[in-house]
Every structure is written in structure tokens, then in C-alpha cells.
Amino acid sequence: MTDTAAQDELLIARLRERGLRVTAQRLVLHRAIRGMSEHATAEEILTTASPLLPNLSLPTVYSTLELLEELDLVRRAPGIGSGPVLYEPRPEPHGHFACRRCGRVEDLDADVDLGPAVAAAGAARMAPDGAEVVVTGLCAQCAAESAAVSSPTP
């Protein structure tokens, strides 16, 4: 069984469990997202999936992403600021770096024990399902520009 087929089966199983319908839109969008190496916006996901299924619409992308998140197949990445929401394939939660100046969000691998944070949330009657680190500051590009302003290269 191919990897794609296995992913399809997982989606189909989760849909059936809940009595929801298996539609071409859901299959195609799920594949598109699982095929991405990094997070993407709803628009980018639409652009990726559109060639495979013409007439696919942005409202459908949003509603499908909401569904896939409910089914635990997609996550929204945290960010600071007001840009578009970033969605990412489920794989193990990982850290993110968010640039305070340009808003860019990048993945970050860091070995941190987040157990205490999850425990604290549980103690406050929340039902935690994941935890990650968000590091903020200036991204490489913004940091370089900032330095250039303070001390212009001769």
C-alpha cells in the first residue's frame, strides 16, 4: 500500500467513524496538506490543490481545514501578529520561531521538556492536546536589515 493510499484510508476511517461523507474535496485537500514539507496558508493550499480539482473554493478549504483539525489530521501553527493562519500536517508537534518585525514563522527543532506546561493546563481544567515552544525575535533577514541601519556598511 502506498503512503498516499494509507493516508487516504486514515482520513476515510475517521470520517466514517463520525458518519461524515467522503468527498473528492476532502481527499484532495488532505493529500495536498500531507504533501507539504512546511506549514501553508489556506490560499496556498487552495493553489496547490486546485489543479487536481477545478472549482475548488476557498470556503471549502476553510471548512475542510476545520474538519481535518477536528479529526486530528492537521494543526494550526501558533503565530504572533495578524497575518493569515498557518496550517501544518500533523507530524509530531515542533517549535516555531516568529519574527516580530515581518511576521514570518519558521519551524524550529528544540529539545525541551514541555511536560510541566501540559500538566499546568490540565490542572486548570483544560484538556490539553499538545504543547510547543514559540521563540520570538527578529528573523535572519530582519536582523540583518536592523544591523545595516545601526551601522551602515562602508
Partner DNA sequence: ATGACTGCAAACTCTTTGCACAACA
Partner DNA sequence: TGTTGTGCAAAGAGTTTGCAGTCAT
9 vs 129, beta carbon nearer a copy of itself? 129
4 contacts DNA (rule: CB under 7 A): no
Binding to a copy of itself (CB under 8 A): which residues in 83-112? 85, 95, 97-100, 106, 108-112
Question: CA-to-CA distance for 94 and 114, rounded, in angstroms?
Answer: 11
Q: Which of 51, 52, 130, 145 binds a copy of itself (CB under 8 A)?
A: 130
- Applying CB under 7 A, among 10, 20, 121, 133 the residue interacting with DNA is 20
Cell of 66: 476545520
By CB under 7 A, how many residues form the interface with DNA?
Answer: 27
Burial 118-146 (b: 16+ CB within 10 A, else e): eeeeeeeeeeeeebbbeeeebbeebeeee
Torsion of CA 124, 129, 131, 136, to 10 degrees: -90
> Which spans of this chain sit near DNA (rule: CB under 7 A)?
15, 20-26, 41-43, 53, 55-60, 62-64, 66, 81-85
